[in-house]
Structure 1
Amino acid sequence: MQQLLLRIDRFNTLVGHAFAWTVVLLTLVITWEVFSRYVLNSPHAWVFDATYMLYGTLFMMAGAYTLAASGHVRGDVLYGFFRPRTQATLDLILYFVFFIPGVLALCWAGWDFASESWVINEHSSVSADGPPIYPFKAIIPLAGASLMLQGVVEILRCIICIRQGEWPSRVRDVEEVDVEKLRHMVHADLPEQAPAGSAK
């Protein structure tokens, strides 16, 4: 069971890493538009559409990856003091009360939006001769499905934790570094220096 959970973690981590490259594409598009607008005096109407589609794609497809890394915002004021079983029980309740209904609604509505958009060959109405947005809308149910898959993994983790009393392992990835912890690590590795003016 644990191997299956870790495989799904790895899959969603891989998807998250792949879609993270949209940041590079987004940066290039914006840089080109700024150069084109202010240096060449030739702005492009499609850039606004492209930027919100790239940005939206990044955030939607990062949802499952962030859940796999346990990186979503959490009210840690009290949660961190609870025992793992209590944490898992609370998480399990919240997954069934909020997560599953919300993500199912996202998948359902997203499928309707995407299928209708593909049928009518929808283009953006924000700018004249706007780019097609049906590929962007297709990301909505796809993101919902990957989020639901990772949610099932997290629910199974909660059940395992309730039974065993400790959280099962998860795939580790790059994490934010606590500044104080980093400072301590850096200073711990440096040799101690003699105070200024002391004898050598």
Structure 2
Amino acid sequence: MVEHERTGPVDFFTWRFSRLAMILPAVIVTIMSYEVFKRYVMEEPTLWVNEASLWMGGFVYLFSGLYAMQQRSHIRIVILYDIVPRNVRRVFDTIGVICIVIFCAAVIYGGFGEAWAKMMRWEKFGTAWDPPIPATMKPAILLTLLFVTLQAISNLIYDWNRDPVAHDATDEVDFDIEEIRRAQAKIDADLAAKKNRPAPKG
């Protein structure tokens, strides 16, 4: 995958978060492998691996969504978008960003009190290891939504005068078109060679 270029100050932070989101799955796999070893080989299961993997997995989910916003890689329906003039596309882009801002603002407004309370009392998970997952994840969700809002606005500003991107059906297909064409050409050549081959003498 070719990453979208960094286009503004918000992208600087998004890229840092995205790199953490790329590293954390490897950390999760490592500690889960350690847990398997400890549990089934040493017969001494850990208290912390399950909660730690959930904790890190939550941050991966949040940071990945922010990265997807920066990369413009969320699901988009482009059938109507591609056939309208550039000015209408700008209207569509603006409406989309307004909807994102309203949604994020509503969630931040509605969730701020709970997130603040959980952080102030340092609410924990209630398990044997008892990490402060609620105290950290609730504020992290709201902070990520704030960055999603800023990223959406940054994307709109940068893309305003950018040349429109053309879409076609192959954008949504996850295979190599050229490789398929080469394979089909080889099959056609083999069939043609078989037709031109003399019949065996009986």
Does TM, scored on the shorter chain, surpass 0.5? Answer: yes
Is 1:123 the counterpart of 2:119? The answer is: no
User: Equivalents in 2 of 1:137, 1:91: separation in Å?
Assistant: 29
For CA contacts below 8 A with separation 6 or more, give which structure has more relative contact order: 1
Q: Give the counterpart of 1:93 among 89, 95, 99.
A: 95
Q: RMSD of the alignment, in Å?
A: 3.6
Aligned to 2:132: 132
Kept in 2, the 8 Å contact 1:111–1:140? The answer is: no
Greater C-alpha radius of gyration: 2
- SS of aligned partner of 1:179: coil
Aligned to 1:180: 176
Query: Structure 1: 5+ residue runs without aligned partners?
Result: 169-175, 189-193
Assess, with a 3 A threshold, how the Cα gap between structure 1 residues 14 and 91 changes in structure 2: closer, same or farther. same
Q: What fraction of aligned residue pairs are identical, expressed as a percent?
A: 23
1:179 maps to a residue whose letter is F
Q: Give the counterpart of 2:33 among 10, 31, 34.
A: 31
User: Equivalents in 2 of 1:50, 1:18: separation in Å?
Assistant: 15
User: Equivalents in 1 of 2:116, 2:178: separation in Å?
Assistant: 48
Shift of residue 142 of structure 1?
2.1
User: Equivalents in 1 of 2:156, 2:96: separation in Å?
Assistant: 10
Is 1:75 the counterpart of 2:77? The answer is: yes
Kept in 1, the 8 Å contact 2:124–2:131? The answer is: yes
Shift of residue 23 of structure 1?
1.2
User: Equivalents in 1 of 2:34, 2:86: separation in Å?
Assistant: 50
TM-score (norm 2): 0.70
Assess, with a 3 A threshold, how the Cα gap between structure 1 residues 6 and 54 changes in structure 2: closer, same or farther. same
> What does the per-residue CA deviation read over 1:130-163, in whole Å, with 9 as the maximum and x for residues that have no partner?
21222333322221221111011133246x24xx
Assess, with a 3 A threshold, how the Cα gap between structure 1 residues 52 and 83 changes in structure 2: closer, same or farther. farther
Is 1:19 the counterpart of 2:7? The answer is: no
User: Equivalents in 1 of 2:137, 2:82: separation in Å?
Assistant: 38
Query: Structure 2: 5+ residue runs without aligned partners?
Result: 1-5, 166-171, 184-188, 197-202
User: Equivalents in 2 of 1:140, 1:95: separation in Å?
Assistant: 19
